[in-house]
Structure 1
Amino acid sequence: MGLCFSLCKDDEEIGDIQRTTEDNRLARDGQIAEEDKTAKYRQITEGDRMAIDEETTKEDQKVSVDQLARDDQVVVEDEIGQGDDVAGHDAKAEDKMINEEEYISELCRKYSADRPIPEEEAELFLKELTFPIPTKPHLTLSEDDVAGKRIFVIGDVHGCYDNLLTLLHVADIDKNPNALLIFVGDIINKGPKSLEVLNFVRSSNSYSVMGNHERAAVRKLRLIKMNVGYEPKASKQWLHDLNGSDYEYLQELPYTISIPSLNAVIVHGGLLPGKPLEEHTQDEMLLMRNIIVEGNELKATKHISQGQLWGELWKGPRHVYFGHHALEGLQRYPYATGLDTGCVYHGSLTGVFLTGDKKLVSVKNEGCRNKEVIQSEEGDPGAAM
């Protein structure tokens, strides 16, 4: 497959996320806290390094294992312009909507394959433009949709295709026509077989919510299709193998999947207690890990050094299944289950049945690792992504 999109002038319009005014936003739950470039790890295992989000200015930032052991900290890689400072970002949303078409047209006039867009301009594009809203941001599966199915929710795969097949075999559903798979997002990036995982999810009629890595891929694909000479980094070269249908599929992934008959909801990052699904921001659903409690106000943060794990504060009534937090590993609370057990970081891939015996199944990673990570470690044994 080859990536074949129209020229800049035919680029589709991007919808903006519905935003509230600053006064209303400050009065409601869910404002993301101020970004802190460093975060204190809750768990660090000797000899293994973990990375967090990949949508960064410097995706390959490194920190030594010795430093991790010494002060229990790591540079947190997070999404440019989509982090904790939502207030400042939202205040400029209207101006961005007004100027977006002009901005894109200017980039198309200035750059081409013969005159590639500079890295700083590309980073500005990836952080500043609004993101297209899926047609169904909150998907609901009816009782008929899941009737007679063995529902199996799977944690962050990150391109570890072989581990995914192993998990399905161990769970005894690899050849079961009644199995219905639901992924918590981040099915792609970091691992070596993102395209294979994406093709599997699509061809098996499985479901997935959008993770921050799917959002990052769509942003990069938009920049590629503008024909401004943008070239993704080595670990993202697989994006060139996607076609227009793949792009639309990733763009249309819902933020949440609800299954009322099973009292379940699936999201990538997290949810704020007491806040309706429809009022959550993209960043809250895709990036949050913790909650900061300030009086009667709850604020979501992506940083693990602030507040407490959001699952600890989630009191239902629906049970939430989520991913995004490999450093914390398996999380099990009365009304929330975190399934990101760090497969791509030499951890394991985990899934849980929502029907039948509701068994949790996990398989150890056996060789799934991004080549760029391996090469960086060979060149600098004390470095981690």
Structure 2
Amino acid sequence: MTLISSNLFAIGDLQGCHQSLLDLLKRINATTPDAHFIFVGDLVNRGPQSLATLRLIRSLGDRAQALLGNHDLHLLAAAHGIRKLHKSDTLDEILNAPDRDELLDWLRHRPLALLQQDHLFLHAGVLPQWSASQTLALAQEVENVLRGPNWVDFLREMYGNQPARWDDALQGNDRLRCIVNALTRLRFCTADGTMEFNAKESTGTALPGYLPWFDVPQRQTQDVTVVCGHWSTMGLVLRPNLIGLDTGCVWGGKLTAVRLADRLLLQVSCPQAQRPG
């Protein structure tokens, strides 16, 4: 799907904050009535109304595209008994909904990466050796599996931190797992692209030898603007070639949208902030 470029907004992690989404869409429509949207993943979980949020995004139809984040994949895995729900999860309403199967089927057909008007959209990060075109091709490999007949089998093999470094020779589930981890979980990595998943705080908390993925020298996606979410402790980032949109709405921060054509910034607060869990 190609969205209308001049009126395209990128929107950060929702995590089930339905009222904040309604408030933000109202503000966007006041400035840009014919707006289109790309949501950068983590549509559900931890917030109070994951079901209503998912239904609303789906109802936007061709006006919106939504990426898969780690919480969205967690929902798919939990729905098939592959992952247990955490005590802080707020997914029961979706799992018990009468339209559950329709929503989950729609969700598993969402992309992991998109490229539009020189902006590369993904949920978490991109490894330094991947170009924008390679990122899209690798994302497509996973998307093909998730949209295929054996997608539940893949979910059973998707979790784990190994391999922690990309190699073009990787095959099978190791290859797919590495792609998923980069696109939906990455925060810190080394200059050679070795990923580290334990550090989750601000960008200054990297272990020795590790950097925020976007600060790795000679990163191959520096020729496009990467638009991402996932890192609420980092907050809003607006650089010439990076837009970070997870401003921690569900944790008492804000829900953020940026109009890509001119970097117009719109934010709303979350009326029902959750405690991290």
* TM-score when normalising by structure 1: 0.52
For residue 265 of structure 1, report the CA deviation from its aligned partner.
1.2
The CA deviation string for residues 100-135 of structure 1, in whole angstroms up to 9 with x for no partner, is xxxxxxxxxxxxxxxxxxxxxxxxxxxxxxxxxxxx
Contact 1:341–1:350 (CA<8 Å) still a contact in 2? yes
Distance (Å, rounded) in 1 between the aligned partners of 2:179 and 2:5: 34
Quick one: which of 54, 61, 68 aligns to 1:198?
54
For residue 174 of structure 1, report the CA deviation from its aligned partner.
8.4
Distance (Å, rounded) in 2 between the aligned partners of 1:173 and 1:269: 30
Query: 3-state SS of the aligned residue for 2:102?
Result: helix
For residue 257 of structure 1, report the CA deviation from its aligned partner.
1.3
Q: 1:237 to 1:344 in 2, by over 3 A?
A: same
Alignment of 1:30-179 (within 5 A): 141=1, 145-147=2-4, 150-173=7-30, 176=33, 178-179=34-35
Contact 1:311–1:333 (CA<8 Å) still a contact in 2? no
Q: 1:358 to 1:193 in 2, by over 3 A?
A: same
Quick one: which of 31, 40, 43 aligns to 1:187?
43
Distance (Å, rounded) in 2 between the aligned partners of 1:300 and 1:345: 25
For residue 148 of structure 1, report the CA deviation from its aligned partner.
6.3
The question of 1:300 aligning with 2:206 is answered no
Distance (Å, rounded) in 1 between the aligned partners of 2:91 and 2:129: 38
Contact 2:13–2:43 (CA<8 Å) still a contact in 1? yes
For residue 175 of structure 1, report the CA deviation from its aligned partner.
7.9
Query: 3-state SS of the aligned residue for 1:172?
Result: helix
The structure number with the bigger radius of gyration is: 1
Give the unaligned 5+ runs of structure 2: 139-177, 201-205
Distance (Å, rounded) in 1 between the aligned partners of 2:111 and 2:65: 9
Contact 1:268–1:323 (CA<8 Å) still a contact in 2? yes
- The residue identity in structure 1 corresponding to 2:253 is G
1:360 aligned residue: 265
Distance (Å, rounded) in 1 between the aligned partners of 2:240 and 2:247: 19
Give the unaligned 5+ runs of structure 1: 1-140, 225-229, 374-383
Query: 3-state SS of the aligned residue for 1:235?
Result: coil
Distance (Å, rounded) in 2 between the aligned partners of 1:311 and 1:346: 26
- The residue identity in structure 2 corresponding to 1:308 is L
Distance (Å, rounded) in 1 between the aligned partners of 2:260 and 2:47: 27
1:309 aligned residue: 212
Distance (Å, rounded) in 1 between the aligned partners of 2:85 and 2:190: 38
- The residue identity in structure 2 corresponding to 1:287 is R
The CA deviation string for residues 325-359 of structure 1, in whole angstroms up to 9 with x for no partner, is 0011112333111100000000111110112x321
- The residue identity in structure 2 corresponding to 1:338 is G
The CA deviation string for residues 16-39 of structure 1, in whole angstroms up to 9 with x for no partner, is xxxxxxxxxxxxxxxxxxxxxxxx
2:184 aligned residue: 286
Counting matched residue pairs gives: 217
Distance (Å, rounded) in 1 between the aligned partners of 2:122 and 2:271: 27
Distance (Å, rounded) in 1 between the aligned partners of 2:32 and 2:4: 18
The CA deviation string for residues 290-337 of structure 1, in whole angstroms up to 9 with x for no partner, is 1212xxx22233334332212223452111100000011112333111
Query: 3-state SS of the aligned residue for 1:210?
Result: coil
- The residue identity in structure 2 corresponding to 1:346 is G
Identity %: 27
2:92 aligned residue: 237
